[in-house]
Structure 1
Amino acid sequence: GRSLVDVYGVATFYRSFSLKPRGKHLICACLGTACHVRGAPRVVEEFERQLGIKSGETTADKEFTLETVNCLGACALGPIVVADNHYFSKVNTAKVKHILEKVRAGLPPAEESAA
Protein backbone atom coordinates (compact mmCIF):
# COMPACT_ATOMS: atom_id res chain seq x y z
CA GLY A 1 0.00 0.00 0.00
CA ARG A 2 0.78 3.66 -0.25
CA SER A 3 0.82 6.24 2.49
CA LEU A 4 -1.73 9.05 2.61
CA VAL A 5 1.12 11.46 1.85
CA ASP A 6 1.83 9.60 -1.42
CA VAL A 7 -1.84 9.60 -2.42
CA TYR A 8 -2.22 13.28 -1.54
CA GLY A 9 0.91 14.14 -3.53
CA VAL A 10 -0.43 12.48 -6.67
CA ALA A 11 -3.96 13.84 -6.21
CA THR A 12 -2.72 17.41 -5.88
CA PHE A 13 -0.04 17.20 -8.58
CA TYR A 14 -2.19 16.10 -11.52
CA ARG A 15 -4.86 18.51 -12.71
CA SER A 16 -7.23 15.71 -13.73
CA PHE A 17 -7.63 14.77 -10.06
CA SER A 18 -9.55 16.89 -7.61
CA LEU A 19 -9.98 16.74 -3.85
CA LYS A 20 -13.31 18.58 -4.12
CA PRO A 21 -16.34 17.01 -5.80
CA ARG A 22 -16.80 18.17 -9.38
CA GLY A 23 -20.05 18.77 -11.16
CA LYS A 24 -21.67 16.42 -13.64
CA HIS A 25 -20.45 18.72 -16.44
CA LEU A 26 -16.96 20.18 -16.61
CA ILE A 27 -16.47 23.49 -18.43
CA CYS A 28 -12.83 24.36 -18.99
CA ALA A 29 -11.78 27.66 -20.55
CA CYS A 30 -8.32 28.45 -21.86
CA LEU A 31 -6.64 31.61 -20.59
CA GLY A 32 -3.38 31.16 -22.50
CA THR A 33 -1.86 34.17 -24.24
CA ALA A 34 -3.54 33.66 -27.63
CA CYS A 35 -6.96 33.06 -26.07
CA HIS A 36 -6.47 35.87 -23.56
CA VAL A 37 -5.83 38.54 -26.20
CA ARG A 38 -8.91 37.32 -28.11
CA GLY A 39 -11.25 37.86 -25.18
CA ALA A 40 -11.09 34.69 -23.07
CA PRO A 41 -11.33 36.59 -19.75
CA ARG A 42 -14.68 38.04 -20.85
CA VAL A 43 -15.85 34.55 -21.85
CA VAL A 44 -14.94 33.21 -18.40
CA GLU A 45 -16.75 36.13 -16.76
CA GLU A 46 -19.86 35.30 -18.80
CA PHE A 47 -19.74 31.63 -17.75
CA GLU A 48 -19.35 32.80 -14.14
CA ARG A 49 -22.33 35.13 -14.51
CA GLN A 50 -24.60 32.56 -16.13
CA LEU A 51 -23.64 29.75 -13.76
CA GLY A 52 -23.53 31.91 -10.64
CA ILE A 53 -20.09 30.64 -9.62
CA LYS A 54 -16.46 31.67 -9.92
CA SER A 55 -13.76 29.75 -11.78
CA GLY A 56 -12.68 26.78 -9.69
CA GLU A 57 -16.15 26.34 -8.19
CA THR A 58 -19.06 23.95 -8.67
CA THR A 59 -22.71 24.96 -8.84
CA ALA A 60 -24.82 24.19 -5.75
CA ASP A 61 -26.79 21.57 -7.70
CA LYS A 62 -23.51 19.83 -8.66
CA GLU A 63 -24.34 20.18 -12.36
CA PHE A 64 -21.40 22.34 -13.48
CA THR A 65 -17.79 22.90 -12.53
CA LEU A 66 -15.97 25.82 -14.16
CA GLU A 67 -12.19 25.71 -14.49
CA THR A 68 -9.52 27.59 -16.39
CA VAL A 69 -6.21 26.37 -17.81
CA ASN A 70 -3.16 28.15 -19.15
CA CYS A 71 -3.21 26.48 -22.59
CA LEU A 72 -5.23 23.83 -24.39
CA GLY A 73 -2.88 23.69 -27.38
CA ALA A 74 -5.28 25.07 -29.99
CA CYS A 75 -4.05 28.65 -30.01
CA ALA A 76 -5.11 29.44 -33.58
CA LEU A 77 -8.72 28.60 -32.70
CA GLY A 78 -8.98 30.60 -29.50
CA PRO A 79 -10.67 31.41 -27.33
CA ILE A 80 -11.17 27.70 -26.70
CA VAL A 81 -13.65 26.19 -24.27
CA VAL A 82 -13.90 22.47 -23.56
CA ALA A 83 -17.29 21.30 -22.31
CA ASP A 84 -17.55 17.63 -21.40
CA ASN A 85 -14.55 16.85 -23.65
CA HIS A 86 -16.05 18.66 -26.66
CA TYR A 87 -14.03 21.58 -28.01
CA PHE A 88 -15.66 24.89 -28.90
CA SER A 89 -13.50 27.29 -30.89
CA LYS A 90 -13.57 31.06 -31.31
CA VAL A 91 -15.90 31.39 -28.34
CA ASN A 92 -17.27 34.81 -27.48
CA THR A 93 -19.68 35.91 -24.77
CA ALA A 94 -22.67 35.45 -27.09
CA LYS A 95 -21.84 31.73 -27.51
CA VAL A 96 -21.75 30.96 -23.78
CA LYS A 97 -25.52 30.53 -23.43
CA HIS A 98 -25.62 28.22 -26.47
CA ILE A 99 -22.79 26.07 -25.10
CA LEU A 100 -24.54 25.70 -21.74
CA GLU A 101 -27.83 24.83 -23.47
CA LYS A 102 -26.12 22.12 -25.53
CA VAL A 103 -24.45 20.64 -22.47
CA ARG A 104 -27.65 20.75 -20.39
CA ALA A 105 -29.52 18.99 -23.20
CA GLY A 106 -26.97 16.20 -23.15
CA LEU A 107 -26.35 16.59 -26.84
CA PRO A 108 -22.83 16.10 -28.07
CA PRO A 109 -21.62 19.56 -29.13
CA ALA A 110 -19.14 18.05 -31.60
CA GLU A 111 -20.48 20.07 -34.54
CA GLU A 112 -19.41 23.21 -32.68
CA SER A 113 -15.76 22.20 -32.55
CA ALA A 114 -14.96 23.50 -36.03
CA ALA A 115 -17.10 26.63 -35.81
Structure 2
Amino acid sequence: MVNHHQHIMLNHALQMALEGSNSFMLGQMGMAKGVDEVSVEHGRMMLKNARILYSDIMSGGKMMEMHKAGTTPESDETMKYSHQLAEAQLQVMAVLDEMAGVR
Protein backbone atom coordinates (compact mmCIF):
# COMPACT_ATOMS: atom_id res chain seq x y z
CA MET A 1 0.00 0.00 0.00
CA VAL A 2 2.93 2.35 0.68
CA ASN A 3 4.07 2.03 -2.94
CA HIS A 4 0.59 2.93 -4.15
CA HIS A 5 0.65 6.13 -2.10
CA GLN A 6 4.15 6.88 -3.35
CA HIS A 7 2.88 6.53 -6.93
CA ILE A 8 0.04 8.95 -6.19
CA MET A 9 2.48 11.50 -4.77
CA LEU A 10 4.89 11.05 -7.69
CA ASN A 11 1.99 11.60 -10.09
CA HIS A 12 1.05 14.72 -8.13
CA ALA A 13 4.61 16.02 -8.42
CA LEU A 14 4.46 15.51 -12.19
CA GLN A 15 1.09 17.29 -12.35
CA MET A 16 2.57 20.20 -10.37
CA ALA A 17 5.46 20.43 -12.85
CA LEU A 18 3.12 20.34 -15.84
CA GLU A 19 0.77 22.96 -14.40
CA GLY A 20 3.72 25.07 -13.31
CA SER A 21 5.16 25.05 -16.82
CA ASN A 22 1.75 26.04 -18.20
CA SER A 23 1.51 28.93 -15.76
CA PHE A 24 5.05 30.00 -16.60
CA MET A 25 4.43 29.91 -20.36
CA LEU A 26 1.13 31.74 -20.01
CA GLY A 27 2.82 34.55 -18.11
CA GLN A 28 5.58 34.78 -20.69
CA MET A 29 3.00 35.56 -23.37
CA GLY A 30 2.64 39.04 -21.90
CA MET A 31 -1.06 39.34 -22.53
CA ALA A 32 -2.19 40.38 -19.05
CA LYS A 33 0.07 43.02 -17.54
CA GLY A 34 0.10 42.80 -13.77
CA VAL A 35 -0.99 39.16 -13.82
CA ASP A 36 1.74 37.84 -16.09
CA GLU A 37 4.45 38.42 -13.48
CA VAL A 38 2.46 36.45 -10.90
CA SER A 39 1.87 33.65 -13.39
CA VAL A 40 5.59 33.40 -14.22
CA GLU A 41 6.70 33.38 -10.58
CA HIS A 42 3.98 30.96 -9.52
CA GLY A 43 4.96 28.65 -12.39
CA ARG A 44 8.60 28.72 -11.27
CA MET A 45 7.54 27.96 -7.71
CA MET A 46 5.40 25.01 -8.82
CA LEU A 47 8.26 23.56 -10.86
CA LYS A 48 10.63 23.94 -7.90
CA ASN A 49 8.16 22.41 -5.44
CA ALA A 50 7.45 19.53 -7.82
CA ARG A 51 11.16 18.67 -7.69
CA ILE A 52 11.17 18.90 -3.90
CA LEU A 53 8.16 16.59 -3.61
CA TYR A 54 9.72 14.13 -6.07
CA SER A 55 12.92 14.07 -4.02
CA ASP A 56 11.03 13.67 -0.75
CA ILE A 57 9.29 10.58 -2.12
CA MET A 58 12.25 8.98 -3.91
CA SER A 59 14.97 9.81 -1.38
CA GLY A 60 12.93 10.29 1.78
CA GLY A 61 12.91 8.27 4.95
CA LYS A 62 10.21 5.81 3.94
CA MET A 63 11.91 4.88 0.66
CA MET A 64 15.25 4.46 2.43
CA GLU A 65 13.57 2.36 5.14
CA MET A 66 12.00 0.10 2.53
CA HIS A 67 15.31 -0.37 0.70
CA LYS A 68 17.13 -1.08 3.96
CA ALA A 69 14.51 -3.73 4.79
CA GLY A 70 15.25 -5.46 1.48
CA THR A 71 12.44 -4.09 -0.69
CA THR A 72 14.46 -3.12 -3.73
CA PRO A 73 13.77 -2.91 -7.47
CA GLU A 74 15.67 -6.17 -7.86
CA SER A 75 13.61 -8.04 -5.27
CA ASP A 76 10.13 -6.53 -5.61
CA GLU A 77 8.09 -5.93 -8.77
CA THR A 78 6.14 -3.03 -7.28
CA MET A 79 9.34 -1.29 -6.19
CA LYS A 80 10.77 -1.91 -9.65
CA TYR A 81 7.70 -0.21 -11.14
CA SER A 82 8.04 2.66 -8.65
CA HIS A 83 11.55 3.34 -9.89
CA GLN A 84 10.54 3.02 -13.55
CA LEU A 85 7.66 5.45 -13.02
CA ALA A 86 9.90 7.90 -11.18
CA GLU A 87 12.58 7.75 -13.88
CA ALA A 88 10.05 8.48 -16.63
CA GLN A 89 8.62 11.38 -14.66
CA LEU A 90 12.09 12.75 -13.98
CA GLN A 91 12.77 12.82 -17.72
CA VAL A 92 9.61 14.88 -18.30
CA MET A 93 10.52 17.29 -15.49
CA ALA A 94 14.02 17.67 -16.95
CA VAL A 95 12.56 18.71 -20.31
CA LEU A 96 10.26 21.22 -18.59
CA ASP A 97 13.25 22.68 -16.72
CA GLU A 98 14.94 23.38 -20.06
CA MET A 99 12.35 26.02 -21.00
CA ALA A 100 13.99 29.37 -21.52
CA GLY A 101 13.75 31.54 -18.41
CA VAL A 102 12.55 28.86 -16.01
CA ARG A 103 15.71 29.03 -13.91
- TM category (shorter chain) comes to under 0.3
Q: Which has the larger radius of gyration?
A: 2
Larger relative strand fraction: 1
Q: Which has the higher contact order (CA 8 A, sep 6+)?
A: 2
Q: Identify the structure with the greater helix proportion.
A: 2
Q: Output the TM-score relative to the length of structure 2.
A: 0.26
